Amino acid sequence: MITCIQTNSDNKDFQNLVKELDIDLAIRDGAEHSFYAQFNKIDTIKYAIVAYENQVLVGCGAIKEYNNNTVEIKRMYVLPNKRGQGIASQILLALEQWATALNYKKCLLETGKKQPEAIALYNKNGYVIVPNFGQYENVENSVCFEKILNS
C-alpha cells in the first residue's frame, strides 16, 4: 500500500530522493543539466509529497506556485526498482488534490524529451502538451504540459 505524506523541502527523505533524481537527470541531460538545475532548487518548496510503500520510501514530487491560479509540478521521482507500479500516478494525484485544496486551478510542468516515461505518465494522467513556458520557452529538449484541475 502506498502512503503519500504532505511535507516541505526540509524533509530529509524528500532531499535524499531529489539527490537521486538529480544524478539520474545529469546522466540523461548531459551538458544541458546545468541549465535545468538552476530551476530545480528545492530550498523554497513549501509543498512536497513523499511516498512510502509499507513505510519504505519509494518516491516524491512537489508543487511550487507559478502564479495566483497555477502551480508547477516539480521534482517527480520514483525509485528505479519501484517504477511501473502506478506510484508516480498516485504521487501526481496527491499533488493535484493538494493544489486544489490550496485553491489553484491549473498545474503546469516541464519535462525533457529524454524522459519518455515521464511524458507517458503525464499523457496517461490527463495532461496536455502546451507551448513551452517561462524559462523553457526556447529550449529544444523541453516538453511542457498543463492540466486544468477539477475544483
Upper half-sphere CA count for residue 148 (Cβ side, 13 Å): 1
CATH superfamily of 2-148: Gcn5-related N-acetyltransferase (GNAT) (3.40.630.30)
Cell (9 digits) for 150:
477539477
Q: What is the pLDDT of residues 105-116, one digit of tens each?
A: 999 999 988 889
Helix extents (H) in 38-151: 87-101, 116-124
Q: How confident is the model at residue 53 (pLDDT cuts 50, 70, 90)?
A: very high
- pLDDT, greater one: 47 or 45: 47
Residue found by looking up cell 493544489 in the block: 99
Annotated domain spans of the chain? 2-148
Helix extents (H) in 84-134: 87-101, 116-124
Looking at residue 28, its pLDDT comes to: 62
Rounded to 5°, angle at Cα 61 from 5 and 55: 40
Residue 36 predicted with pLDDT over 80? no
pTM: predicted TM-score of the whole model, two decimal places: 0.90
